[in-house]
């Protein structure tokens, strides 16, 4: 049986996540929930689940994918790590382990239980970046396209509040080579939207 998400502040929510019986396996391995959230955050980055290196380091996006993501967003490491600017909320806050063809997927019910209590404490978020199909299927329920490529290609349909992206993994180089519009059409708008969200007041969101 899993515990219900609780109200309260950031510390209370983190304590509830750690104490949840569904996460006992992570506690036994010494894993802490890996996410970043702060009351002044302006941009939420929703990814898949922490990789092994990120989980072991305790730093979200601590790998080559993270370096590429910073390049895509056109922000510095310090900006990306600042909880007054970015909330980093993967679909599961724990490294799920290895599967037959790569890391296991995030647990299906994790984000639905824990994202909302955290997001309710971050009213200034004006842009949510959805990285990968798991995040897109969850946050664009009923609006996502047939596959990730079509969803990302249709990114303007989800503005001004949502922005779907492919995963910045180096293993995705073939996808990027097949879809050159991602660099020419998507990334310039992404960077402009991020820059706008980081300086805009919550009540003055800019639509494209």
pLDDT value of residue 208? 30
pLDDT value of residue 52? 87
Closest CA relative to residue 85, chosen from 36, 33, 140, 142: 36
Q: Using DSSP, state whether 137 is helix, strand or coil.
A: helix
Distance CA 193, CA 1 (A): 41
pLDDT value of residue 98? 85
Residue 142 vs residue 7, higher pLDDT: 142
All domains in the chain, ordered by first residue: 10-203 (3.40.470.10)
pLDDT value of residue 171? 87
Q: What are the pLDDT digits (tens) for 162-189? A: 999 999 999 899 999 999 999 999 999 9
pTM confidence score: 0.91
């Amino acid at each position: 049986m899993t515990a219900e998400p609780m109200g309260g502040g950031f510390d209370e929510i983190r304590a509830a996540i750690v104490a949840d019986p569904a996460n006992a396996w992570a506690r036994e391995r010494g894993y802490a929930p890996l996410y970043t959230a702060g009351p002044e955050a302006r941009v939420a980055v929703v990814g898949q689940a922490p990789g092994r290196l990120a989980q072991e380091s305790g730093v979200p996006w601590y790998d080559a994918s993270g370096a590429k993501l910073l390049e895509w967003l056109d922000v510095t490491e310090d900006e990306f790590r600042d909880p007054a600017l970015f909330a980093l909320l993967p679909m599961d806050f724990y490294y799920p382990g290895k599967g037959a063809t790569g890391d296991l997927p995030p647990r299906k019910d994790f984000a639905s239980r824990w994202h909302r209590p955290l997001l309710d404490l971050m009213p200034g978020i004006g842009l949510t970046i959805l990285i990968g199909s798991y995040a897109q299927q969850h946050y664009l329920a009923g609006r996502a396209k047939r596959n990730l490529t079509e969803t990302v290609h249709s990114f303007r349909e989800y503005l001004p509040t949502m922005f779907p992206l492919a995963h910045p993994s180096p293993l995705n180089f073939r996808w990027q080579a097949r879809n050159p519009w991602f660099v020419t059409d998507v990334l310039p708008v992404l960077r402009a939207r991020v820059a706008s969200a980081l300086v805009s007041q919550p009540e003055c969101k800019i639509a494209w």
